[in-house]
Amino acid sequence: MTSPSQSDRGGAAGYDGFDVSAVDRVLVVRLDRPEVGNALSRRMREPMARIWARVNEDDDIRAVVLTGSGDRHFCTGADVKEIAETGEAPSAAAAQEPIVWSPVAAGVRKPVVCAVNGIVAGGGLHFVVDSDVVIAAEHATFLDTHVSVGQVGAVENIGLTHRLPFGTAMRMTLQGSSFRLGAARAYTLGLVDEVVPAAELEPTALHVASCIAANSPRAVELSRALLWDSLGRRPHDAAEEAWRQAQRHWSHPDFLEGARAFAEKRPARWTAGHDG
């Protein structure tokens, strides 16, 4: 694995509130406001949308690692101090604009590995519940603070019900800041896929993302989409649609290339791009 490229952070051409770098075919996106718990501000909406658009449009990017700066906070949700000062939430324009934080809501087609490096609260759960794989440091903690600061637990909380027992998701939502899930418990309940020592968090996340990036981009994209689309559907209907998509993929170059590479014991030469 090569070293990360120079980070893109701040400035007109950069990503205000984020530190973004590339490692081979993996884009590393770091929430970069450690002085305020990596909280989400209104000025981060547009950069977030551009980051997700870059992920979709750049064929050299095949997976994403999403994490936070520092070792105390992953993301503490909306910047409550900013709300107190301006009277507006980071997503105040959401009635007219799409939800930009969630990779699923934003229409991201490529896998996202979430590396939880500390406390996750409120809106920070967008990234956890809507990532494809979640790796957490041993000291990570998960809580939902919406009702404790006068907000409605909504989109992220629905996402919690897809990964947690309903009672636990409800308890997180209604108890607010008084109920916390440690990393070990979150793993036991299914919110987290792997727990590692803090020093191993980012290398583990990069390893997972790199393994994903080595596979057929089109097959990965279709497989990922089918699993997300199956949530809330009747299993029979979801399986029928999955079978139709699998059959359509038989005509894609990667289908035959994968078989030939395996037979010839060589690395596959995948077709770039998402069309096919």
Question: 0.85 cut: is pTM over it?
Answer: yes
User: Please, what CATH class does the domain formed by 18-213 belong to?
Assistant: alpha beta
Write out the two tokens for 128. 């956890």
Residue 32 has pLDDT above 80, yes or no: yes
**Type of residue found at 259:** A
**Joined tokens for residue 213:** 């990036």
How much is the pLDDT for 93? 54
Q: What are the pLDDT digits (tens) for 159-181?
A: 999 999 999 999 999 999 999 99
Q: How many CA atoms lie within 13 A of 119 on its CB side?
A: 17
- C-alpha 114/C-alpha 264 separation (Å) is 35
Question: Do the domains spanning 18-213 and 217-264 agree at the CATH topology level?
Answer: no
Q: pLDDT-based confidence at 89, cuts 50/70/90?
A: low
| pLDDT at residue 4, rounded to an integer | 47
Q: Please determine, looking at this structure, whether the domain spanning 217-264 carries the CATH number 1.10.12.
A: yes
Please report the pLDDT score of residue 84 as a whole number. 80
Q: Which two tokens stand for residue 192?
A: 């987290």
Reported as a single tens digit per residue, the pLDDT across 43-68 is 999 999 999 999 999 999 999 999 99
Domain locations in the chain as residue ranges: 18-213, 217-264
User: Which residues are bridge partners to 73 per DSSP?
Assistant: 119
